[in-house]
Amino acid sequence: MWFARLSFRMTEHDQRTLYRLQACPFCERVVRKLDEYGLEYKSRFVEPLHSERDVVKRVSGSRTVPVLVGPETGATLTESANIVEYLDAEYGKGGN
């Protein structure tokens, strides 16, 4: 389930932030969904080498991308499928 990788922690971020790689198809899937819903976000492009993605590990506990940090709750979401499912639930038909 998508919420299994959802962690709630307050961060210093004051806006929605997407940690991503250039030309990553999983990251682009999230970008398309954010754009579809007209949601503002800041892109933080991370190091291509998995072992050098320390900023991502500090935020999510893992070095994989994409990672979306929400400003409303400080929630950190990982995995593109989980992020897209969350965005659809929150902003799609039937969402808030």
Q: What is the pLDDT of residues 61-75, one digit of tens each?
A: 999 999 999 887 778
The verdict on domain 2-91 having CATH code 3.30.450.20 is: no
Roughly how many angstroms between the first and final C-alpha of the chain, as a whole number? Answer: 21
Which residue type occupies 55?
V
Please give the pLDDT value at position 11. Answer: 43
Please give the pLDDT value at position 91. Answer: 92
Mean pLDDT of the chain: 85
Please compute Rg for the chain using Cα positions: 12
Nearest to 34 by CA among 47, 46, 19: 19
The span from the CA of 38 to the CA of 60, in Å, is: 24
Domain residue limits, the chain? 2-91
Q: What is the pLDDT of residues 3-35, one digit of tens each?
A: 444 444 434 446 899 999 999 999 999 999 999
